[in-house]
Structure 1
Amino acid sequence: MNNTITDLSGYETFYNKSLNNTEEYWSETAKNYLWFKPWNKVQSGDFNDLELKWFEGAKTNMSFNCIDRHLKTKANDTAVIWIDNDPKVDPLKVTFSELHQRVNAFASMLKDQGVEKGDRVCFYMGMVPELLVGVLACTRLGAVHSVVFGGFSAASLAGRLVDCDAKVLITNDGAYRGAKTIALKNIADEALESAACVQKMIVVKRTGDQVS
């Protein structure tokens, strides 16, 4: 199905079909994605009791859908453009092929650190490329990721670590916010004093600050 919408009329056509032919609409839409195993039924359940199921019996992985399905035709196309905090630094452009390599390497590192399907991995980082790579790596492994805003306090971070029973915390040595440097690793250290569930902390170099 061509999902391109160019005007209001096109939007209304899609919208009406989603209401009047729900299963057909979502079945056609889903075929735009990569599936390891097709579904037996598009949707079942009732919105009144919120017992809803979608694409029963199907298997997919959104990391593969974000990257792998584009490799045959777009391997050398730009997948990510990252803008540094410093306007003097040229933007970083990452192709789908390079992103694939980075995500697989990150996933392999997580596996070596004991991360398995269903484990929770928490990210407490600045806006760096490794954050996106790490999230896609978790998705690839079937691990659950939780991204915590890098401006939160140690207490706020600790609460979120405990709430999701995080096994691993990934942070930066520090982060830039305008002209300021935020000591993320120090804040993370303080948070771990109240989050015994975390077994390992992984630190990604960003500012080059000395950390313990």
Structure 2
Amino acid sequence: MNPDTSPLGLANLGPLAQLRAGRLPERLVRLLAGLWLYGVSNALLMESGLGGSPWVVFHQGASLHLPLSLGVIMILVAVAVLLLWIPLRQMPGLGTLANTLLLGPFTDANLWMLDTPESLPLRWLCLVGGVVVCAIATALYVGAQLGPGPRDGLMTGFARRTGGSIQRVRTSIEIVVLAMGMVLGGTAGVGTIVFALCVGPITQFFMRYLVLRLEAPTEKVSAAVS
């Protein structure tokens, strides 16, 4: 298997090659739509009150041991995760920068528009909707092939280098991060477990349909920059 291409057709292009790979307007729309939906997902999960994602649990746990705000810790964790990209030879790109700069504001905007549901069935609906929307959002913005965010890049990097499925790799990462967060003292709920176990398989499903496979000329560019 080509170590620079995942089983789902995700090519590991450098930043400039990503922009030159063709169909850029369509890919930019997919990137922005995916990040907006990621913000919708975050808001739905938070408003459900049934537990945040494993990464949120980890950030909360780390905040108990460091004299820093949650936002600063999220930035530091993102930098640390980017360092893990080096041995994986995962390439950053416009999508990586967009994820870093836009995901927070998109989440805040959706939190402002959504109200916390009072009934338990509606809270569960928010939870399930948040997990499904997160999977669609990930497949859309990662599938645009403009570079994943720090945490999703860890997923795609491991999947490409090991030949494993997105489902297994993402689920494994979510479980490890959740365990670390709980050891640090982060608060998890039933929604956290549902997210950790379900988001990987659902993301794998949508990746099959939403990854924008690049044309043959792009693959030559990929080989040239490897």
Give TM-score, length-normalised by structure 1.
0.23
TM-score if structure 2 supplies the norm length? 0.22
Higher relative contact order (CA 8 A, sep 6+): 2
**Larger Rg belongs to:** 1
Structure with greater strand percent: 1
